[in-house]
Chains A and B, each alone.
Chain A
């Protein structure tokens, strides 16, 4: 009978094209608004590294002032950055199977080819474990060795885009590249790599692209490379310049550890507790123990990487969809009750109530499906508009297969929900009252 109901549904839509179009448009507009917002929220709050997000931890130590918490909310979270001195020490102790300390910087790349202009390029000062920890793919070569790190060798890993820009090719391992006033040797070229959001550094634009240049932590330290991102202090450094900053309790570095199981995680946490206790004896860490190991998803939530605007916009979008479905319910009710004569006739000819209900629910479902098709077009348009208005959302404001399926399902379920009451009213029509002929 379903194909029969579908045939009747098509005929019914043809019979009232204006009313049907209105219902399809109502559903489509509601869908497009909700799905545009939901797409942004979904992409922004998605797991950026699902294959490892449960073993990667942001390391947080509460070195803040005795009389003032870093986070003055009831959550009392420890700082989301670390001091250079604590990062240095944790790196040296190397208690985790893999760890990386880092900060974002910028360098001026001076190509040998005089036809290519120098430009300021984003850089990350980090340890060699960074690439393995975050599954960063290499096109050529690999990361620098621990020996390179300890010896402060001027080695670097660059992005594919930078290699193509500077050398017009990507197989440039071994080539020299000038950063400012010093030459570095390329040891690795990254393949195309996109992580959304950039979870490992929430003090910069989390929707931006990964850095194009990577230099060893030791080299970045000795060269006193610029710090791009947040630097917070509860007291000023005793002195000027990078060295004073690096020795102070000012925080600007990120620190991540890969802890593959609960036992390793617990052992590492014990290590952090012992470290803080040791530092407390030197007069630092005056606050009660408040250390934290935050896995990726928790880290993103803690740092509100998903903007509140996105959640609010999603709420509004869903509410608007609800209003549109209510509208569709009203229109469907009017449409079905207008067919009371035909419904009475069908009942007289032997249709059971549930057959009438199924027939009209099928019509609602068809309207929902058409609403989904139009809604998809409007959603794609809406996301294009978002990309145009907010260029940093260029990678986020795009629909994928999961969201496409979700749109179809929401449309069908929404239309069926909207049509359930009108279909129920239709099947309750008393046939005798509609077949009055005298």
Chain B
């Protein structure tokens, strides 16, 4: 599903050069549920942005679902992002002026689905997350957990192959967080690949695979057992 080889990302200003990712290699197979952890500034968000085609990498290879991203222009990246990737953000990022129906509708509009198809998808997605009866409510009328469910519905409506979640439970209490995580597990159970960036080690344990990022490089840990970090291993992940 996702292949990164020797990826580099360098942020340059007039005064300083920051190597956010260095020799970053990672392969995520279709259907995997991968948790990505690491200390602040380790490069997790940069990795997620590049994976989500929101940023370009400086060097290295990145293939998404078999497509070499290096060769894509901005329009092609936008199209690929729309078709293959769903995003879930820590702060939900719902548009406050739009009701739930219209919020979930946003990516579908850019896909060009006809009206009836969009309606079916939106109602289905909101139904899956338990909000099928609140289509025309506004985000401000919902709890945090419900808003995150709407964001998940928006991410799922286009049936993406890959879901990228950046601290999906970061703004939620324990109960809501559990609910969201169960939803993600259910989604993964149906075959959607999920990559979740999180600080929460408990949450990371719920994923089937755990990738630890330190200083812009991958330290891959065991697929099912999480072991606490003793020292950064600075080894390349197995391809």
Contacts and interface: CB of A to CB of B under 8 A. Distances in A.
Contacts of A352: 74-75, 78-79, 110
Central interface residue in B55, B98, B109, by most chain A CB within 10 Å: B109
Contact of B78 (A4, A11, A350, A435): A350
A395 B170 CA distance: 71
B75 A435 contact: no
Contact of B87 (A1, A349, A353, A438): A349
| Secondary structure call for the A interface | helix
B82 interface: yes
A12 to B, nearest CB: 8
B93 interface: yes
A350 B82 contact: yes
B8 interface: no
A346 B94 CA distance: 10
B91 interface: yes
Contact of B83 (A12, A350, A354, A438): A350
A354 B75 CA distance: 9
Nearest to B83: A350
A11 B87 contact: no
A265 interface: no
A195 to B, nearest CB: 56
A114 interface: no
Contacts of B98: 11
A353 B55 contact: no
B5 interface: no
A431 interface: yes
Interface in B140-192: 154, 158, 166-167, 170
A175 interface: no
Interface in B6-32: none
Nearest to B75: A352
A96 interface: no
A262 B95 CA distance: 71
Contact of A15 (B78, B82, B97): B97
A387 interface: no
B90 A345 contact: no
Interface string B105-139: 01101110000000000000000000000000000
A436 B45 contact: yes
Contacts of A351: 78, 82, 110
A345 B86 CA distance: 12
Contacts of A354: 75
Contacts of B216: none
Interface in A1-44: 1, 4, 11-12, 14-15
Instruction: Give me the 10 closest cross-chain CB pairs, A-B, nearest first.
Output: A350-B82, A437-B90, A349-B107, A432-B54, A350-B110, A432-B49, A352-B78, A432-B55, A11-B97, A431-B54
Given A352-B78, A432-B49, A438-B166, 15 more contacts: A15-B97, A346-B106, A348-B52, A348-B81, A350-B78, A350-B110, A350-B111, A350-B158, A353-B78, A432-B54, A432-B55, A435-B54, A437-B89, A438-B45, A438-B170
20 contacts: A1-B109, A4-B109, A15-B97, A341-B93, A348-B81, A348-B87, A349-B110, A350-B82, A350-B111, A351-B78, A352-B74, A352-B75, A353-B75, A353-B78, A430-B54, A431-B54, A435-B49, A437-B167, A438-B90, A438-B166
Interface of B: 40, 45, 49, 52, 54-55, 74-75, 78-79, 81-83, 87, 89-91, 93, 95, 97-98, 106-107, 109-111, 154, 158, 166-167, 170
